[in-house]
A and B are shown apart, each in its own frame.
Chain A
Amino acid sequence: MSHSLPPQIIYLVDDDISVREALGDLLESAGFEVGRFGSAEDFLAEWRPEMAGCLLLDVRLPGLSGLQLQTRLAEASRSIPIVIMTAHGDVPMVRKALKAGAIDFLSKPFQDDELLRAVEQALAVDRARRQSEALMSSIAARYDTLSDRERQVMELVTEGMMNKEIADELHLSLNTVKVYRKQVMDKMHADSLAELVRMRGKLGTKHADQP
């Protein structure tokens, strides 16, 4: 299925204006769109989760540090792939950042291809995540259109029960179950039982517990 994703932007956070300008220019020369920020606070003020892209983040910043920003974002479940930059070769800090989920780190000074490779990887991660999120939200939207009875049927079907067993379970006739099953497949845009099972898996436990 095809979804139109928002354009990806590279959010660049570095307090050194020379470095910021140079990196922004380089990324633009590679055809990326770049957002420039002098501090973590500036970035937080402007950024919205629906903005696609990745974060190119210097570890040492005045005010909120790179690591603190990373923690903030994680706490708020506002996920954005992060590439860390450091001018220290500061191993413990880099290790912490990677543990906290950073995609990659760059030790200053670095070559353009290192930077572009890391940034592309981060953007790919973001793209994949946004695709799966979009898919997820469309499945959830379709699930919301099901009636309670249809949901019950979907639940039992995806658990692998035969129509006859479902009919017994729900005290319905076999034909009624067949009709519900057909409606579920239609409303969920499922081409096969296997796809329906996958969708059910994606929905997770949250929806399953609903009556």
Chain B
Amino acid sequence: MMEYVVKPTAIAVVFVLLALLWTFPLLHLFAYPFVFLFLAAVMCSAWFGGLISGMIAAALSSCIVAFFFMPPIFSLSIAQEYRSYESAFIVCAVAVTAVSVARKRAEAAIRSSRDALDARVTERTAELERSNSEIRGRERQLRLLTEAIPQQIWRTDKDGSIEYANRDLLDFTGLHDLSGGAFFEIFHPEDRLIVTGGWQEARLNKTKFECKARVRGGDGDYRWFLIRANPQCDEDGAVQCWYGVHIDVEDQERAQQELLLSQERLSRYSRTLSMAEMAASIAHQLNQPLTALLTDANACRRWLQANPPNLERAEHSAERIVRDTANASEVVKRVRSLFSRADYVREWTDLNELIREFARLLRDEAIRRNIAIKLDLSNTLQPICADRVQIQQVLLNLAVNGMDAMAESETDRFLEISTKELQPKQALVTVRDYGVGVTPEASTRMFEPFFTTKPGGMGMGLAMCRTIVEEHDGRIWVEILNPGTAFHLTLHERD
């Protein structure tokens, strides 16, 4: 009731009275009844009071205009000639009301939608802030986790440059920035090639990266770490970043090396033992017929020297000499067959691949001896026909000789293994050390059995190498370099 009657009526009355008050002083300025302020009043009423107020104001204004300003004055009746004017006024008043109300509604709609928008924006902002602070909290916790975790962690950008390294990693390396090439500087120079090689391969194939390498600490000491990284890819399979972790395996590594060392000592010991036993057995087997032969010969001589000579007994002794000689040569034959191997496994072999595998096998031993292995392999080699195990035995002999030769060296502790294509259809393998070297006299005899310059050496290693290489229709020779020694061997390639 209040909403629909009192308030619109009051508004309409107020505006109409205001218009009436202002119209009187302005009345004498115009020839025609001045009614425009009432239109303004209708408009204002409709604007502020709504449709009802506008209609009331229009009706009220029409009456007042007809009463006060249309002749005859002070009468609601209207002279003939002013009727059209009055009609025009009423139409205008209604139109103004309609326009004003419509406008007002549109305005109100706009305002209300703007308010709603505002409210929504405020709400959203609050929500955003809440979730932002949640994210910040989670992020802080994540950061705390990555910082507090007792493990070295890093993340790269999509190009593989470090963009985040956790506290543990920075503290260990004593560096502030690991981006760019600085990252690879933390690895031991001898392991750097393995790390960079493996890393490039992993990045190329977008696969997991894993390798073992020594990392330099802030104090300058190296420790063994297991380096692992995984790529993070988007839906299209493009790498976004890499996550990496360094796991300290120094203690395990050291324990393993100790183990290897003791194993090697043990196997060397048992090898010497079995060699000694074999030598004793061979000596025994040979000494028996030799004893018989020497004794036969002496007995024969004694029968002949007797007075008179006992020819019958002497002949018996001589016959035994013949028989025992056959026994002795049988022993020699048995010993030979003991050392010869008939079960060759010849197969087409990628020489480079064989050498890489061999280098991997040798790596632990080389690290223990603090020697770096360098490979320089030709990529034009054809497969060779060989017994893999035998060729690796040859390489092992040469490599161990080379490492032995460098045992006392202060610098240049490198063992270089290279392959090269030789004309015609031959592969050349070179094992080169930078050690003490050999004398020219030794170099002419070093492939003979039992020739050795090592204390406690058997002198069988290089002799065995030559046997194996020659069984493969190859050649092996030594080159004296300054410093060091190079062993070359040739092997036939596939035609």
Chain A residues packing against B (C-beta within 8 Å): 16, 18-19, 21-23, 25-26, 28-30, 60, 87-90, 108-112, 115
Contact = CB atoms under 8 A, between A and B. Distances in A.
B230 interface: no
Contacts of B289: 18
B295 A19 contact: yes
Contacts of B313: 25, 28-29
Interface string B270-291: 0000000000100110011111
Nearest to B295: A22
B306 A26 contact: no
19 contacts: A18-B288, A19-B291, A19-B295, A21-B292, A21-B320, A23-B295, A25-B299, A25-B320, A26-B296, A29-B303, A30-B302, A87-B288, A87-B291, A88-B283, A90-B280, A108-B287, A108-B288, A110-B291, A111-B298
Given A18-B289, A88-B283, A110 B294 contact: yes
B317 interface: yes
Contacts of B295: 19, 22-23, 25-26, 109, 112, 115
Contacts of A109: 287, 290-291, 293-295
B207 to A, nearest CB: 61
Nearest to A22: B295
Given A25-B317, A26-B302, A88-B284, 7 more contacts: A22-B320, A23-B295, A25-B320, A60-B284, A88-B280, A88-B283, A90-B280
Interface of B: 280, 283-284, 287-296, 298-299, 302-303, 306, 310, 313, 316-317, 320, 323-324, 327
Contacts of A115: 295
A29 B303 CA distance: 6
A66 to B, nearest CB: 13
Contacts of A108: 287-288, 290-291
Nearest to B298: A112
B291 A112 contact: no
Contacts of A87: 283-284, 287-288, 291
Contacts of A22: 291-293, 295-296, 299, 317, 320, 324
B288 A16 contact: yes
B396 to A, nearest CB: 32
Contacts of B323: 18
B421 to A, nearest CB: 52
B294 A111 contact: yes
For the complex, would chain B's binding face be called helix, strand, loop or mixed by DSSP majority?
helix
A29 B305 CA distance: 10
Contact of A29 (B280, B288, B293, B302): B302
Nearest to B294: A109
Instruction: Please name the 5 residue pairs, one residue from A and one from B, whose CB atoms are nearest each other, closest first.
Output: A112-B298, A87-B287, A22-B295, A29-B302, A18-B292
Contacts of B302: 26, 29-30, 112
Nearest to B292: A18
A89 B283 CA distance: 9
Nearest to A26: B299
A23 B280 CA distance: 23
Contacts, number: 77
B98 to A, nearest CB: 134
Nearest to A20: B292
B331 to A, nearest CB: 11
Nearest to B296: A22
A25 B313 CA distance: 8
The interface centre, meaning the residue of B289, B290, B302, B306 with most chain A CB atoms within 10 A of its CB, is B302
Contacts of A16: 288, 292
Contacts of A26: 295-296, 298-299, 302
Contacts of A18: 288-289, 292, 320, 323-324, 327
Contacts of A23: 291, 295
Contacts of B280: 88, 90
A135 to B, nearest CB: 36
Nearest to A85: B291
B332 to A, nearest CB: 15
A25 B292 CA distance: 11
Nearest to A112: B298
Given A25-B317, A29-B313, A19 B288 contact: yes
A96 B292 CA distance: 25
Nearest to A113: B298
A108 B287 CA distance: 6
B475 to A, nearest CB: 39
Nearest to B314: A29
Given A18-B320, A18-B327, A88-B280, A112 B299 contact: yes
A164 B302 CA distance: 68
Nearest to A89: B283
Nearest to A29: B302
Contacts of B288: 16, 18-19, 87, 108
Contacts of A110: 291, 294
A13 to B, nearest CB: 14
Contacts of B294: 109-111
Nearest to B317: A25
Contacts of B291: 19, 22-23, 87, 108-110
A72 to B, nearest CB: 23
Nearest to A87: B287
Contacts of B296: 22, 25-26
A111 B313 CA distance: 19
A26 B287 CA distance: 18
B306 A29 contact: yes
A28 B327 CA distance: 23
Given A18-B327, A87-B284, A87-B287, A29 B292 contact: no
A87 B289 CA distance: 10
